Amino acid sequence: MKKMLALLCALLLALCSAAAAETIPGLEDGVLTVAMECTYAPYNWMQPDDSNGAVPIKDHPGQYANGYDVMTAKNICEANGWALEIVQLDWDSLIPAVQSGVVDAVIAGQSMTTERMEAVDFAGPYLYATIVCLAKEGTPNAEAKGISQLTGTATSQSGTIWYDACLPQVSGAQIVPPAESAPAMLMALETGTVDFVCTDMPTAQGALIAYPDLKLLDFAGTGDDFTVSEEQINIGISIQKGNTALLDANNAALQGKTAEDFNALMAEAIAVQPLSEE
């Protein structure tokens, strides 16, 4: 009898989830299609197998996506009874894909800025980011105690608040053109092309695994730190404007989550990113 009741409950839940999906534009098939770069560890990355819960990437046979964004997407899908489909896109193509309806959502470490909110709606936040810098160990910048002590050439990723809003606050920075991606930004620092980079805490923590000769510079609490607004450090999920049903469903799945919950999940992502297993 108990088994029969359990089966009936599972069936009713599935039917309710399917009915709910039919009322959400884009979710008629019960599949949430999520775009991300798949090159932005620990938020998201690409790997050759499904280890640690990785999800297949559409149109990339034999490649799988994993990371904090994938884990978050899986949790949202589980809460709503949806299947998950991951699409890989370049950073600058993410918001246009949501606007055009090519994908249902973007979960890719995007800050919830006013400018982006003019183009999309945001669910969340699903993370609160701290702005930090990275420099190579043994260099003068590695000893900096605040942003006023940073000097030399600097860059960050294109289209981010790190490059557009934070680096200009460093009076001693000679800002060079932005990197196309987070890996390109880190490679510029590692190869000595620039003296320091600006990024957020999770990206920096992941970078230290790949490049142990880097030093993380966190100036929080020093009085000599970056000035940022909540919209710049709140990380959200892009949804097509006007799709309130999908927006509400994503927010409902995140409801009750704390900064500690987000940080714990990020720690899981950092622990399983490919280079951390070597």
pLDDT at 26: 87
Q: What is the mean pLDDT of residues 40-63?
A: 96
Q: What is the mean pLDDT of residues 178-200?
A: 97
Q: What is the mean pLDDT of residues 192-205?
A: 96
| Confidence band for 65, pLDDT divided at 50, 70 and 90 | very high
Beta bridge partners of 234: 128
Backbone angles phi, psi at 55, to 5 degrees: -115, 140
Dmax (CA) for the chain in angstroms is 73
Q: What is the mean pLDDT of residues 37-45?
A: 95
Say if residue 25 is preceded by a cis peptide, omega within 30 of 0. no
How many other C-beta atoms are found inside a 10 Å radius of the C-beta of residue 196? Answer: 28
pLDDT at 276: 52
**Side chain identity at residue 125, one-letter code:** P
How many other C-beta atoms are found inside a 10 Å radius of the C-beta of residue 180? Answer: 15
Tokens 């534009």 correspond to what residue?
Answer: 25
CATH number of 131-219: 3.40.190.10
Summarised one tens digit per residue, pLDDT across range 4-29 is: 444 444 444 444 444 445 589 989 99
Please report the beta strands in 115-191, taking only residues with DSSP state E, as ranges in sequence order: 121-128, 131-136, 152-155, 173-175
Cα 254 versus chain centre, distance: 15
Beta bridge partners of 99: none
Q: What is the mean pLDDT of residues 93-99?
A: 97
Report the chain's C-alpha Rg in angstroms: 20
Q: Give CB contacts under 8 A, 24+ apart, made by 57-66.
A: 57/86, 57/87, 57/88, 58/33, 58/85, 58/86, 58/87, 58/88, 59/87, 59/88, 60/88, 63/38, 63/88, 65/36, 65/38, 66/269, 66/272, 66/273
Taking 80 as the threshold, does the pLDDT of residue 208 lie above it?
A: yes
CATH number of 30-128+235-277: 3.40.190.10
Taking 50 as the threshold, does the pLDDT of residue 177 lie above it?
A: yes
The phi-psi region of residue 241 (left if phi > 0; otherwise alpha if psi is between -120 and 50; otherwise beta) is: beta
Domain extent listing, the chain? 30-128+235-277, 131-219
Summarised one tens digit per residue, pLDDT across range 210-256 is: 899 999 999 999 999 999 999 999 999 999 999 999 999 999 999 99
Same fold, 30-128+235-277 and 131-219: yes
Residue 86 to residue 135: CA distance in whole angstroms: 33
